[in-house]
Amino acid sequence: MDQLRVHVEQAAMDLIGRFAPYGQADLVGEFAVALPLTVMSRLFGLDEMDRLRLPDIMRRIWDADDAGRAADDLVRLMDATVRRHQQGLGHGPLTKALVERPGGLSHDELAGTLVLMVGAGSQPAANLIANTVAELLTDPQLHADVMSAAVPVADAVHHTLWARPPIAHYPPVVARCDVTIDGVTIPRGTLVLLGLGPAGQRIHQDHGRPLHNRAYPAFGVGEHRCPADQHALAIAQTAVTTLVRELPDLRLAVPAEQVVWRRSPFARALDRLDVEFTPRSPVSYPAQEGTPAWQQSPGRSPSGPTSTAPSPRSSGSWARLLGSRSRGTSRRGR
């Protein structure tokens, strides 16, 4: 977990360095969405073109925007990543460890595992980062408490998991028997989409700001609870801590009521989060040994298409169950 925090802080510093001299940014596209994907790209060893394609692929899946084709694109991308590592050409420590594990997974299983990890992990983490920052910037008392260290950033993240959880509806489940909930009967065999977001928001509305209550349903409950909840918390807490530390006078660039939420059937996510702050020179963060040059540079890279090998149909079924979102539009020159 400590190593994960190091990767997240390094990525956060690099991203902040890109927009810090301008005194303005869209924290959704230029920070929150980019950060988990940057970390995963390093751990998985994605090549530059695939890294640049990920944000749009994730957005299309989570927003049900030609999601089937986007899911296939994600599977092809991960399939090509696994092939590179199997040929000894990859540089991702996580993918390398999975490939070299004695008696490990088959090729299809490896590709499916990467699809699952990036699909289920990147977008919720991005949403949690952006939603926490939005909560800080639209709640003057919470902002003052965090900036004065009266309330730790961790508590602000937990508060956001009540007030603005990153996943609105997920996962789909099938009733195994007739179930009656609050006077409504759900017949056996009915497909049900769990409203994790509305459930948390209802409790939050009834009980105010439960800063120290960790019983939110945002990660699910019971035996089917998300197994990576601590990793998601570590990513969000480290990202937000680094952001408010480096840009302490961060503020909204538009009125709070003009902050726009994305229309998505699954995600509780901002379309963009325009902020202003005092311009500052970027501070370089030491790159870790073995990090490819394209991942070390704080500058922008041109995007473009890439070709990947066709993926097995077996891996495609994994991708269709997943979703994520990204937005990378720059606001330079507005």
Q: How much is the pLDDT for 208? A: 65
Q: How much is the pLDDT for 283? A: 64
C-alpha distances in angstroms, 192 versus 174, 175, 183, 293?
6, 7, 16, 46
Q: How much is the pLDDT for 131? A: 94
Q: What is the pLDDT along the chain (334 residues), one digit of tens a residue?
A: 788 899 999 999 999 999 999 999 999 999 999 999 889 888 899 888 888 888 889 888 888 888 889 999 999 999 999 999 999 988 899 899 999 888 778 999 999 999 988 877 888 899 999 999 999 999 999 999 999 999 999 999 998 888 888 887 777 889 899 999 889 999 999 998 888 777 777 777 776 665 567 777 777 777 777 777 888 899 999 999 999 999 999 999 999 988 988 887 777 889 999 999 999 986 655 544 444 433 343 443 333 333 333 333 333 333 333 333 333 333 444 4
Q: Which residues, in sequence order, are CB contacts of 235 under 8 Å at separation 6+?
A: 4, 8, 35, 36, 39, 125, 128, 129
Residue at 116: amino acid letter: L
3-state secondary structure of 186: strand
Q: Report which secondary-structure segment, H or E, holds 179.
A: strand 179-181
User: What pTM was estimated for this model as a whole?
Assistant: 0.76
Query: How far is Cα 170 from Cα 135, in angstroms, rounded to an integer?
Result: 22
Angle at 284 between CA 281 and CA 286, to 5 degrees: 170
Q: Of 158, 120, 157, which Cα lies nearest the Cα of 266?
A: 120
- Paired tokens of 206: 């009834």
DSSP state of 46: -
Write the DSSP assignment of 277-296 as a string of letters.
---------PPPTT--HHHH
Q: How much is the pLDDT for 210? A: 58
Angle at 254 between CA 248 and CA 257, to 5 degrees: 115
DSSP state of 256: G
Q: Of 227, 229, 120, which Cα lies nearest the Cα of 170?
A: 120
Give the Cβ contact number of residue 238 at 10 Å.
23
Q: How much is the pLDDT for 2? A: 84
Phi/psi at 173 (5° precision)? -130, 165
Residues 309 and 79 sit within 8 Å (Cβ to Cβ): yes
Quick one: 292 exposed, middle or buried, by C-beta within 10 A (0-12, 13-18, 19+)?
middle
Q: Which residues, in sequence order, are CB contacts of 312 under 8 Å at separation 6+?
A: 79, 107, 108, 111
Q: How much is the pLDDT for 220? A: 75
Q: How much is the pLDDT for 286? A: 52
Q: How much is the pLDDT for 119? A: 79
